[in-house]
Amino acid sequence: MSVLLSSNSSEYDRPSCGRTDCAHSSDDGIDRSTKSLTVGLVNNMPDGALQSTERQFRILLESASRGLNVRLRLYALPGVPRGEAAARHIGRHYASTEQLGATRLDGLIVTGREPLTPSLCDEPYWNSFTKLLGWAQANTTSTVWSCLAAHAAVLHMDGIGRVRSDHKHCGVLECARISEHLLTADIPSCFAIPHSRWNGLVEEELMERGYQVLTRTAGAGVDTFIRQTRSLFVFFQGHPEYESNTLLLEYRRDVARFFRGETKTYPTLPQSYFAPETMLMLRALEEEAQAFPREEFLAKVMEILDTVSIENTWHRTAAGIYRNWLQYLCSEKRLHPENHQAEAAANDGNHPGAQHPPDDARVTPAVLCGGYPAPRTVSTAARSTPTIL
């Protein structure tokens, strides 16, 4: 049916479809009906990608919410560095995860962000993240951990460190379904999903610790995996939420970084993304730029990218996966109404802006953070660009 974006600002409390009659407007209806869900989005993305990430998940949930009403609530993780404009936006439209307290959500989505330190547990928001993880285990039916958030979660829970590749896995990568689960019901056995990462997780390590791998890429390892705790934890190494031009914007950003001297590595062209003729032009410029780097090449790259039109070939599959996730939340709500009666009571007055003490639930880390090794190494234009790990 619809997705209603709920925030600290009345201007954001509106259905994403733009109508006023397509979603329940009261928390009562959202919390108590098994056809109505409350989903939180913890948006950790960099300042330039903050609002585009809101849009991506709002559109994806809208596509997936057939027959359902979904209230999307925005949350910010304390400790994430922010500039003035982004902090102002968060202050107006987000609640802090520290305010979750006794709140219960049907579902939660937690994004990643580009790390600032070699070790994830040295990130300035690490303590806030681990508290959120413990809260999610006790107070959600299911939580989605996206990309870096997935890496950080398994590191904290089971001491599984991510592995850095010798090249970036970037593009719309072919994936295969390798085990049956309700989340992959009616999803093609082979499909393609955007990935944009240097790091990955070793499948054997995940399976040894009790994770179930659902889908695997053709050449970049695990795509989606899960673990049933008190909450069903769903982990994506890819980005089903990406819009058609997100990888283009990332490539443009990374080319600019190369010409500014911020990196010595020219960015990898996204796989199975650009049209063949565009690939040929960009590859020719890459070869010239690596041999004789001059600023004029940057203008030529931008000129090509400004004329490119990308078809979103993965949205249908992405919406199918998230539709299955929303249906799972609904089915659990029907099977365990006692949880959601408590949820409705707990949510009264909890959002936005209610103050509550932190929840006591915690996920116990496998080892002390300081004992984790550093990651290993093995051999359109106007919109903001997400920064991906």
Asked if 357 and 101 count as a contact pair (C-beta separation under 8 A), the reply is: yes
Distance CA 325, CA 235 (A): 12
**Is residue 360 within a helix (H) or strand (E), and if so which, with residue range?**
none
List the beta bridge partners of residue 81.
none
For residue 46 the two structure tokens come to 């960099």
Asked if 259 and 295 count as a contact pair (C-beta separation under 8 A), the reply is: yes
- Please provide residue 363's backbone torsions phi and psi, each rounded to the nearest 5 degrees: -95, 125
Distance CA 317, CA 320 (A): 5
Catalytic residues: 147, 239, 241
Domain boundaries, the chain: 2-242+314-360, 246-306
pTM for this structure?
0.84
Distance CA 61, CA 78 (A): 25
CATH fold of 2-242+314-360: Rossmann fold (3.40.50)
The pLDDT value given to residue 363: 42
**CB neighbourhood size of 306 (10 A):** 12
> What do you get for the CA distance between the two ends of the chain, in Å?
34
Give the pairing type, strands 69-76 and 95-96: parallel
Q: What is the pLDDT along the chain (389 residues), one digit of tens a residue?
A: 578 877 655 445 545 544 333 333 333 333 446 789 999 999 999 999 999 999 999 999 999 999 899 999 999 999 999 999 999 999 999 999 999 998 999 999 999 998 989 999 999 999 999 999 999 999 999 999 999 999 999 999 999 999 999 999 999 999 999 999 999 999 999 999 999 999 999 999 999 999 999 999 999 999 999 999 999 999 999 999 999 999 999 999 999 999 999 999 999 999 999 999 999 999 999 999 988 888 888 999 999 999 999 999 999 999 999 999 999 999 999 998 766 555 555 555 444 443 333 333 334 344 334 333 333 333 333 334 333 34
| DSSP 8-state secondary structure symbol assigned to residue 230 | S
Distance CA 114, CA 103 (A): 29
**CB neighbourhood size of 208 (10 A):** 11
Collapsing DSSP states into helix, strand and coil, what is residue 3?
strand
Question: 3-state SS of 48-72?
Answer: HHHHHHHHHHHHHHHHHCCCCEEEE
The pLDDT value given to residue 13: 53
